[in-house]
Amino acid sequence: MSSYKTLYLSEKDSVAVALSDIPENTEVVIQTGEEDLKVTLLEQIRFGHKFAVKEIDQGDDIIKYGEVIGAAVSYIPAGAHVHVHNLEGKRGRGDKVAK
């Protein structure tokens, strides 16, 4: 168990934010309001970056602040870094409009 601080903003959220650099394989405890959730980080998570607190299937919405921040490009296991490599925004996507 570690004392690294993380921030989990809403009980609907599928991600939490690291409040310092946290090394790979660290087990962090997420306080969800009900029961604490234990997540082992699969890779290093840098300050301000996000990791999945639960499995997210490819195409599923990713939730932070209790709101949709994008969709999963691929399957994301719990503890994985969630960022531009596996999350894509759904808004302002002129590149997705058939020409």
Partner 1 sequence: MLNEKLQFWGYRRPDGRVGVRNHVLILPTITCATQTAQRVTELVSGTVSFIHQHGCAQVGTDYDQTARTYAGMGMNPNVYGVIVLGLGCETHQAHRIGDEIAKCGKPVETVSIQQHGGTLQTIAEVAKIAVKMVQDASMVQRELCDFSELIVGTECGGSDACSGLSANPAVGKASDMIVHQGGTAILAETTELIGAEHLLANRAANDQVAKKAYAVIKMMENRSIQMGVDIRTGNPSPGNIEGGLSSLEEKSLGASTKSGTTRLEEVIDYAQIPTKKGLVWMDTPGHDIEQLTGMVAGGAQVVLFTSGRGTPTGSPIAPVIKISTNTPMFERMNENMDLDAGTIVNGLETVNDVGKRIMNEIMQVCNGKLTKAEILKQHDFGIWRIGPTF
- Of the pair 35, 99, the CB lying nearest partner 1 is at 99
| Residue 36 C-beta: closest distance to partner 1, Å | 18
Distance CA 60, CA 87 (A): 10
| Residue 52 C-beta: closest distance to partner 1, Å | 12
Report the run of H or E that residue 64 belongs to, with start and end: strand 61-64
- Of the pair 5, 38, the CB lying nearest partner 1 is at 5
- Of the pair 39, 81, the CB lying nearest partner 1 is at 81
Best CA proximity match to 46, nearest among 75, 71, 70, 23:
23
Q: Which residues bind partner 1 (CB under 8 A)?
A: 5, 7, 9, 17, 19, 46-50, 64-65, 67-70, 82-84, 87-97, 99
